């Protein structure tokens, strides 16, 4: 079993509802606060970033972004924290949804699971309807904001890739 898969199972236990239900902006902020993470608005960051300051983990986020970007970016930063990437002397980590570095990829996976939980995709899979259109329809109602079409497709494709990769690790 790959370690990211085991870490996801641990986070499902530690973070109530994670990867079982979609997280809204407020759900994410509440989860962060319950875990003593300081969450602050900052217009100077592109999406979000995370660092360690004065004994606390701090996430800065730009409030002017579509809901889906907010979920992916704040979820990504919580992923860095949950996966143990944030240390007292590490440099700030910025959300990059499509980076190839392994810690960025792993944090990105956590962000995507906050947005579209594996349980939803699994339901589509067992009835033979796991495809981009279904992922889009499942998530479009309150999680896209005003994001444009090409990004939605890219995000749905990334989510499907993550589902399939986790399924391969699990089996
Ligand atoms: Zn990152």
Kind plus residue range of the DSSP H or E element containing 113: helix 102-115
Q: Give 128 Cα–ligand 1 centroid separation in angstroms.
A: 33
Q: What is the pLDDT of residue 150?
A: 57
What is the distance between the alpha carbons of residues 59 and 57, in angstroms, rounded to a whole number? 7
The Å distance, Cα 47 to ligand 1 centre, comes to 10
- Ligand 1 centre to CA of 62 (Å) is 15
Q: How far apart are CA 9 and CA 73, in angstroms?
A: 21
Edge-to-edge strand ranges of the sheet holding 37-41: 37-41, 56-61, 48-53, 93-94
Residues having C-beta closer than 5 Å to ion ligand 1: 93, 104, 107
Q: Tens digit of pLDDT for each residue in 74-119?
A: 999 999 999 999 988 878 887 666 677 889 999 999 999 999 999 9
């Amino acid at each position: 079993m790959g370690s990211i898969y085991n870490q996801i199972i641990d986070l499902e236990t530690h973070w109530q509802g994670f990867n079982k239900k979609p997280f809204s902006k407020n759900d994410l902020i509440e989860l962060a606060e319950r875990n003593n993470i300081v969450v602050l608005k900052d217009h100077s960051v592109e999406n979000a970033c995370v660092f360690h300051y004065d004994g606390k983990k701090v996430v800065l986020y730009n409030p002017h972004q579509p809901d889906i970007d907010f979920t992916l970016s704040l979820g990504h930063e919580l992923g860095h924290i949950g996966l143990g990437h944030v240390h007292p002397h590490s440099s700030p980590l910025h959300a990059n949804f499509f980076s190839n570095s392994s810690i960025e990829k792993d944090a990105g996976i956590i962000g995507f699971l906050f947005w579209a939980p594996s349980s939803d995709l699994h339901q589509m899979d067992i009835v033979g309807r796991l495809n981009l259109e279904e992922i889009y329809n499942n998530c479009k109602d309150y999680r896209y904001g005003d994001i444009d079409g090409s990004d939605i497709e890219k995000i749905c494709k990334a989510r499907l890739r993550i589902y399939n990769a986790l399924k391969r690790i699990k089996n």
